[in-house]
Structures are given as structure tokens and as C-alpha cells.
Structure 1
Amino acid sequence: MTSTAELSAEAISEIASVVSAGAGFAGCRSTVWVQGTCAVLSFRLDKDESDRRRAAGLGAITSPDILHFLLGLPTGKPVALEALTPAERSMLRTVPQGTILVSAGMVIRQAVPPLGVEMAMVPARSWRKGLERAGRFAPFCSRAMVLRTPPRDLDALRLEAGFYGIGVIVAAGGTEPDVLVAPARFRRNRFTAAGWRFLEEVYRQVR
């Protein structure tokens, strides 16, 4: 009988280690709940930013409004307070300590994304469900799904997964993972507040 059960997070993490190394993703791995699903993420922690935040008592920044405001400021460069809009000046009172520095009529953004996510790997009972789950990470990183057994409609799977750039790995219990479709490299067109918030949510869970 073909099993349709999903692999455990521990099993996915072990598979992610093998696949990430083969794809050139060298970094940390952790199981998180993000984008409405459980996923194993391969990521690189920005140790300098993480240490700076820890020293300042600053954790994850998850407010979309604050992140949108911060994204409008250059990193580490002073901006005159008078150059800000009234709404932006009002926002200065709400940002957490350690996020910006205000001095001598200038504001300097200190906060930067605390990590970068390279790949999200999701378990799935069927490849169509895997496409949907992995597709949630399309704006943020490379993606892959893990199935227990190869589906019968393998050609259709390869066609659709290849089109969307989603990797497909089959991993039966106790066997080496079989990469049917390699995950495509992620190319970010632009960095948005939503993309930054995704990284902060991951950081909240892994720090």
C-alpha cells in the first residue's frame, strides 16, 4: 500500500541538510510555522545584527507599518528630521529601541534584516498540495516539496514543478532522498516590507 502520510519535521530537516548541501545552500536549518504551514528553512543568520539587537534588547520587528517606515530610510546614513513627512515623524515615537538613532536633528536607521532565508522545504501528501504549499514562499526564497513516494503522473509533476521552479524530493523511510526536480535559484526583484516581515517572523522563531 502506498503511504500518503507526510514525513516528520525531523526527517524533513535531515533531507534538507542533504539537498541544501547539494544545491550550495550552506547555513542553519530550523523547522518553523510560517506562511500558514510547517516548513524546514535553510537560512543564514546575520550574527552582527543579532548580537546588536540582543545588546539593545530588541527582538523581532513584526509591525508592517514600522518595517515600511524603516525601509524608506537608508541604513546607517543620517536623514534630517525636517526631510520626513509629518506621518514619518510621528512614526519615530513608535519604533522599538535599537531600531533607529535620533540625534542632532538627524535620524539614522540601525536595524537591518537579521537573517536571510535560502530555501523553504515543505512536506506534502500529494505533489499538487506540495506545489500550493511551496508556492507560498515564492516571493522570499527557493522552494522544494518532499513526498514519501513518487506519484504515478511523474511527467506532469516534473512539468509543473519545473515551470514554477519548485524542487521535488522523494524520500521513503530509511532511503537516500531522490531529487526528481532541483529547486531553482531564487532571484529577488525588489526587497519589500512584506519580504522583511517574513524574515523577522522567521527570526522570532529561531533566535
Structure 2
Amino acid sequence: MTDIVQVPSLIGGYTGATLHLSIDHTEHARRTQAGLRLAIGHGFGGLDHLMSLPTGLPVPLADLSEQQRAYVSTAPAGICSVHGGFVTRHVVRPCRITLAAVHYDALHKLALDSALRFTSVSACQVVVERLPRYAIDQHELLEKFAFYGIGVSLRRADGSEETVLEPRRFRPKQHTPAAWFFAERAYDAYLLAFVEDAAGPMQFSTAGHVGSVGAAGELTLRDPR
């Protein structure tokens, strides 16, 4: 059975939702042992370089571009390793986003527009506290949500939820650095919410820098050179 955790979306441009995550616990344990927090840095470029490498298989450095060789030669421990003229990628996506739930008081176009931001990265639903009073208005809105594959759930006063419209299953058309970046940021929210010791900062490495996260979630980076 897959464990699903819920975290707030802290990603710029994608706030205001609860993300349901399936954590890759093997990758999480590997990163913890290596002291690696997130595989990001250099915009999406670092992830673009990593996606060109197979996982766990050595690739001759001579087959890489100049930019790729520059990246792997400075990547921190846990991302990849370089030995004997070969590079081996170790890092994989730390989690899978199974659902993005956007919360609104009522079902209206603003809720639809907000939910549409997440349809490129996961299945999506809107959780509302009330539906339109008139059946014709409700039917018209639900048709729009169904067209985009966005589910609708009604939260009742006792905290229970009733599914009004099932979200469409998410099928990514392609794997992209942007989607991997989103998963890394979602994993970051998981670390902040469930893993880190509130009594002190967590030491970690990111691509190209070393840093720490304090109890309040503040991020401090330093160049190790």
C-alpha cells in the first residue's frame, strides 16, 4: 500500500493548494545518507543535464557536452559520481505528486482558474464548502470542470468530504526538467513538514552550494569554494 502525505504547495506561482505526495523512501534514505537535500540549481539546466543520463549506468565523460561535463564535475555528493572517465547518475525524483487539491469557499470560475495551474503536473481537484444554489448553475460549472479533468469535492461542516466529480487520472505527455523541479520543491515541503528537527537546522547540499534550513524554514546557502 502506498503511503500518501499531504503538504502545502510552497512553489512560486503554485501556492494555495495541498499536494498529495507518494514519497520514494529508498531515494529519501539515500539522500539522507549522502547529505543531499534537493537536486536543483542552475535553473532547470542542472536537471536537464541529469535527465540526459541514465540512472545507475556509467557514461563516458567524452560523450557529454562541455556544459554537461561542467555540471557533473561540480555536482555535490549524492547526485552523481565521476570515476575513471565515467559519470554515473544516482539521483532520481524523490516523490510523485498524486493530487493537487485547491481549496475554495464556493464553486466558481476563480476556483477553476486556480486549479488549472496544476493540471500540467498532477491530477487536480477543487474542495469547496458549498455548491451553487441553482441546479442549472451547478450543472454548467461542473461541465467546465469535467472538460478540464478537474475533480470537485464538497467539504461538509463535520469535516467529511463528498466527491461530486472525480478528477481525471494524470498522464504526463513527457517528462520534463520543469516537472522534476516541481517534484523537488514538493519534496522540500515534505522535509519541512515531516522530517526536520524543529530544535535546530538541517545540514544539506544542493547543486553547487552547501547550506542549512533553520527551524522556521529559512534557507541559508554558502559557496563551499
Letter in 1 for 2:37: G
Question: Hey, which of these two has a bigger chunk of strand by percent?
Answer: 2
- 2:45 pairs, out of 61, 65, 68, with 65
Q: How does 1:1-207 map to 2 (within 5 A)?
A: 27-34=4-11, 35-63=13-41, 64-125=44-105, 126-152=107-133, 153-174=137-158, 176-207=160-191
TM-score, structure 2 as length reference: 0.77
Letter in 2 for 1:137: F
Deviation string 1:110-131 (CA, Å, 9 cap, x unpaired) is 0000011100101124431221
Cα offset, 1:77, TM superposition: 0.8
Following the alignment from structure 2 to structure 1, what is the Cα–Cα distance between the partners of residues 160 and 88? Answer: 50
Number of aligned residue pairs: 184
Contact 2:14 2:118 (8 Å CA) reproduced: no
Following the alignment from structure 1 to structure 2, what is the Cα–Cα distance between the partners of residues 27 and 102? Answer: 35
Q: Give secondary structure in 1 for the equivalent of 2:140.
A: helix
Deviation string 1:66-118 (CA, Å, 9 cap, x unpaired) is 11110111111111000011121111233222100111110011000001110
Query: Following TM superposition, where does structure 1 have runs of at least 4 consecutive aligned residues deviating by more than 4 angstroms?
Result: none
Contact 2:73 2:82 (8 Å CA) reproduced: no
Q: Give secondary structure in 2 for the equivalent of 1:44.
A: strand
Q: Give secondary structure in 2 for the equivalent of 1:183.
A: coil
TM-score, structure 1 as length reference: 0.83
Following the alignment from structure 1 to structure 2, what is the Cα–Cα distance between the partners of residues 49 and 25? Answer: 15
Contact 1:144 1:166 (8 Å CA) reproduced: yes
Equivalent pairs: percent with the same residue?
Answer: 31
Following the alignment from structure 2 to structure 1, what is the Cα–Cα distance between the partners of residues 37 and 111? Answer: 32
Letter in 2 for 1:88: Q
Cα RMSD (Å) of the superposition? 1.7
Q: Unpaired runs of 5+ in structure 1?
A: 1-23
Letter in 2 for 1:87: Q
Following the alignment from structure 1 to structure 2, what is the Cα–Cα distance between the partners of residues 198 and 181? Answer: 26
Letter in 2 for 1:116: R
Q: Give secondary structure in 2 for the equivalent of 1:41.
A: strand
Following the alignment from structure 2 to structure 1, what is the Cα–Cα distance between the partners of residues 141 and 74? Answer: 48
Letter in 2 for 1:201: R
Q: Call closer, same or farther: CA 1:30–1:177 in 2, change over 3 Å.
A: same
Correspondence for 2:194: none
Q: Unpaired runs of 5+ in structure 2?
A: 192-225
Q: Call closer, same or farther: CA 1:113–1:176 in 2, change over 3 Å.
A: same
Following the alignment from structure 2 to structure 1, what is the Cα–Cα distance between the partners of residues 125 and 86? Answer: 44
Correspondence for 1:5: none
